[in-house]
Amino acid sequence: MGEHVVVIYPHPDDEAFGAAGTITTFREKGIPVTYLCGTLGEMGRNMGNPTFATRETLPEIRKAELIKACEVLDIHLEMLGYRDKTIEFESTEDVAAHLFQFLNEIKPSLVITHYPGHAVHPDHNAFGAAAIRAVEMFPAAERPTVWAQAISNTHVEELGGPDIENDVSDRISKKLETIMAHKSQADGMLKSVKEEADDIELATKQWLGVESFYTWEFN
């Protein structure tokens, strides 16, 4: 079985901020990458800056942004149809079974997701937990490696340092292009960086230049 990376995050733009550099590195090696994106970020607070979206137009806008971002990264996209901010109220087993259908079809060598309990947003924690549960549905010998991304303020203190630290500073222009594809979300965030820094590439390199993960240990 060849290599295939599956990225499992709940929101359009999680892949951009969290793993765009790592994904680019895989694509450069010709390794296929599939993004299982849980929601359309329907409940996002960012409406563009100045605002151009409303609560009702945001889903279609973010869907178009997500499709564009996946074109920039040259990855395959599946939109799973959950609603933003509600994943933790779904049945973990049902979500895991849904994810497993995709994983069982793809048979990935690596799964990238959020570290449950250390991913800040309730959707991140819940979708990460469901992703890990889905991987557990494979017999132990057939399980792909899982890289779990922690973003809590306390993760280093509580878990120790991450074992995977990808320096993606030389992929930063691709990462920025992916982030920019999510215009409704990026406007506000990048504006504050721009205001404080003369050189946006240099500033983002410091902010976004490393993507780190914990290799999940199944027991």
Partner 1 sequence: MQPIEIDQLQQYIDAFANKEVYIHLETTNGAYASHFNKDAYNAGAFIRNAQVTYQRGKIVGAGSTYRVGLKLEIGWIYAEGVSQYELDKNNRLLMAGHDREGRLMVALQISETPFKY
**Where do contacts with partner 1 occur on this chain (CB under 8 A)?**
43, 45-51, 54-56, 59, 83, 85, 120-123, 152-153, 187-188, 191-192
Identify the CA nearest to 63 among candidates 95, 38, 96: 38
Per the CB < 8 A criterion, the answer to whether 111 and 9 are in contact is no
32 vs 188, beta carbon nearer partner 1 = 188
CB of 152 to partner 1, least distance (A): 7
29 vs 45, beta carbon nearer Zn ion = 45
CB of 93 to partner 1, least distance (A): 23
CB of 43 to partner 1, least distance (A): 7
Question: Binding segment for Zn ion among 5-13, 78-86, 136-144, 199-207 (CB under 5 A)?
Answer: 5-13
Q: What is the DSSP string of 148-212?
A: EE--STTHHHHH-S-SEEEE-GGGHHHHHHHHHHSHHHHHHHHHHHHHH-S-HHHHHHHHHSEEE
101 binds, among partner 1, Zn ion, none (CB under 5 to 8 A by kind): none
CB of 54 to partner 1, least distance (A): 5
Give the full edge-to-edge strand order of the sheet including 210-215: 76-82, 33-39, 5-9, 110-114, 145-149, 210-215, 164-167
Interface residue with Zn ion, options 11, 62, 155, 182 (CB under 5 A): 11
Identify the CA nearest to 96 among candidates 124, 133, 126: 133
Interaction of residue 14 with Zn ion, rule CB under 5 A? yes
83 vs 143, beta carbon nearer partner 1 = 83
Which tokens in the block code for residue 187?
């406007």
CB of 3 to Zn ion, least distance (A): 26
- CA distances in angstroms from 84 to 3, 13, 197, 203, listed in the order given: 30, 13, 32, 30
120 vs 197, beta carbon nearer Zn ion = 120
3-state secondary structure of 113: strand
Per the CB < 8 A criterion, the answer to whether 178 and 73 are in contact is yes
Question: Binding segment for Zn ion among 8-16, 21-29, 96-104, 182-190 (CB under 5 A)?
Answer: 8-16
Name the site residues for Zn ion (rule: CB under 5 A): 11, 14
